[in-house]
Amino acid sequence: MSGILGKKVGMTRVIADDGGVIPVSVIECSPNEIVQIKTAEHDGYPALILGFDELKKPKKTRKFRHLAEFKIDTNSEKKKGEKVSVAEFSEIQSVKIVGWSKGKGFAGVIKRHNFSRGPESHGSHHHRQPGSSAGAVTGTGRTPKGKRFPGRMGNAKITKRNIPLVSVDIEKNLLVVKGPIPGSIGSLVRVDTN
């Protein structure tokens, strides 16, 4: 199996055997249902499409709130309608996690890009402004791509690789991984095997 969908529950800590404290994130992964199986003959590559978070009132064409595709080996024996649970992660050491970071709205250059402040004395009109943005005026006559300006901060897709898997709770459908993961509490998280 190559992955599962879940929701971020929050952060806590685990006491290690040597007495050290390990900060961990908890992900609740209720069993995902296999909605579709893609094959190399029909679709060009083998993959599973998993459904997560079943709707209270399923529609004609939609039963789950979230769908995601996970590539698999060609010799997989999964069938449509089967459930995928956290039990398949019991022997895995590390995972890859994909999530959306917290959205922080429109932000200025000091908060967004760590710019320095201007003089705070009386008469200065340059307190939190970005400064000159002219760039190469005589050369190109335009602002270069990638120039740091105020704008939307956060709400971006974040991928974290090789995160150690601390424990798997099969009864409660929980994955416990080391350190922080992207997203707010209750947000969708994709967990892949490396």
In the chain, where the domains are located: 1-30+86-113+148-194, 32-84
Listed in sequence order, the DSSP H helices in 7-161 are 40-43, 109-113
Give the pLDDT confidence score for residue 136 in this predicted structure: 63
Start-to-end C-alpha separation, the chain: 11
DSSP for 39-55? Answer: -HHHHSS-EEEEEEEE-
- As a whole number of angstroms, the distance between CA 100 and CA 157 comes to 5
Give the pLDDT confidence score for residue 79 in this predicted structure: 86
* CATH (one of 3.40.50.970, 3.10.580.10, 3.40.50.300, 2.40.30.10) for 1-30+86-113+148-194: 2.40.30.10
Q: Kindly give the parts of the chain with pLDDT less than 70.
A: 1, 134-140
Neighbours of 118 (CB within 10 A): 15
The total number of residues shown for the chain amounts to 194
**Which fold does the domain 32-84 belong to in CATH?**
Double Stranded RNA Binding Domain (3.30.160)
User: Beta strand pairing status for 94-100 and 83-84?
Assistant: unpaired
